Structure 1
C-alpha cells in the first residue's frame, strides 16, 4: 500500500537515493543545498511504500498567482503504478485556485504526453515564449 504525506523534513539519505535513481546528479552533488531547497519549497508531497521513499513532488510559488512544479520524481521500479499521477493530482487539487501552473521538463514524448493529459500545454501554443538561464 502506498501512503502519501505532506512532509519537508526528510532524511537526506532517502532523498539522495530517490534523486540518484532518477539520474538527477546535478541535485545530488550538493545534498545540503538540495535539502534546503526542499525545506524552502512551498509544498512537498511524498509517496511511501512502508518506510521507502518512492516518489516526491515539490512546488515553489506564492500560493496565490503562480505555482511552479519544480520536481516530480518516482523511482524507476515504481513507475506505471499511478504514483506520479496521484502526486500531481494532490498538488493540482490543493492549488486549483491558482491560475498559472508552470513546469520545465525534458522533451520526451512520454513526458509530454503525461503532462498534456492533465491540460498542460507547451508555452508556444499560447503565443508565449519561455526563457531560461543556467549558470
Structure 2
C-alpha cells in the first residue's frame, strides 16, 4: 500500500471510496465532492498495490491556529488494518505546530477509539474548557 499526496483525484475513485462507507451526502453531488477535495488544505490518500483508492484524509487549516480534519475514511474491507491510523498520523504530523486540532465524528466506538488513541478528547467531557 502507498500513501500519496494529490488533491486532483479521479471522480470515479472518489465516488467509489465515499459510497463504500455510505457517505451519500457527498456522492449525490459528485462535482461538489471533487471541488471540496481539491479545495482542501491537505489531502493524503492510501492506494492498494493494484491502484485502488482505499483511504483518504483531508484537512482544512490556516496552518497556524487551527486544523480541522474534515474527512477520514477507509473502504470497509480494508478497515481494521491500521490504514485509518496511518492517515490520521500523517495529518497530525503535517499540522504538528498548529495550536488547535478539531474534528467532528459520530460517537461510534471504533472511530472514537481511533481519535482518542491519537490524543483527541470529547468536548462534552470539558464543558468549561477555554477555547
TM-score class normalised by the smaller sequence: over 0.9
Poorly superposed stretches of 4+, deviation over 6 Å: none
Match of 1:31 in 2: 30
Match of 1:61 in 2: 61
1:74-85 equivalences under 5 Å are 74-85=74-85
Match of 2:46 in 1: 47
Match of 1:103 in 2: 103
Gaps of 5+ in 1: 130-135
Separation in 2, partners of 1:125, 1:98: 22
SS in structure 2 at match of 1:77: helix
TM-score by length of 1: 0.91
Separation in 2, partners of 1:46, 1:87: 7
1:61 Cα offset (Å): 1.6
Alpha-carbon RMSD across the aligned residues, in angstroms, is 1.2
1:99 Cα offset (Å): 1.2
Gaps of 5+ in 2: none
Q: Count matched residues.
A: 128
Separation in 2, partners of 1:110, 1:78: 14
SS in structure 2 at match of 1:70: strand
Match of 1:20 in 2: 19
Can you list the C-alpha shifts for 1:19-39, whole angstroms capped at 9, x where unaligned?
A: 000100000000000100000
